[in-house]
Amino acid sequence: MLIMQQRDNTRKIGGSEEDRAADFLESRGCTIIERNFRCSAGEIDVIYWDGDTVCFGEVKFRENLLNGLPEEAVDRKKQKKICRASDHFRMKNSLDESLSYRFDVLSLTPESIKWLKNAYEYIR
């Protein structure tokens, strides 16, 4: 029972932090395309236009820095899953290579939001 309560609380916090990240992006002129895109390859927290670039954003939140910076949790394995999911999104929406794409990380703490544009390159 306690584990389920913790999981529910984590989801609630995650959802509110993703809302915070989306609001942040919109306040910087971005247009949200989709949130929480899910497919067999994985999930992408937020997909948005930044000018003429389609961005795939991973939102990471840490209550404190005892376990490291939020962005450090976006390791190569996670990056590869996001890249696979981005392939699914692009195919589903008929987006071709003529567009510009970018992989960002939004690193959140209670006090700040750090927007790491082009945090990593596409991984095949």
pLDDT tens per residue, range 37-85 = 999 999 999 999 999 999 999 999 999 999 899 999 999 999 999 999 9
Enumerate residues 6+ apart whose C-beta is below 8 A from 56.
Answer: 44, 47, 82, 85, 86, 89, 101, 102, 103, 104
Give the domain 2-120 fold.
Answer: Trna Endonuclease; Chain: A, domain 1 (3.40.1350)
CA distances from 76 to 14, 20, 23, 71, 88 (A): 21, 25, 27, 12, 19
pTM of the predicted protein model: 0.90
Q: How confident is the model at residue 15 (pLDDT cuts 50, 70, 90)?
A: confident
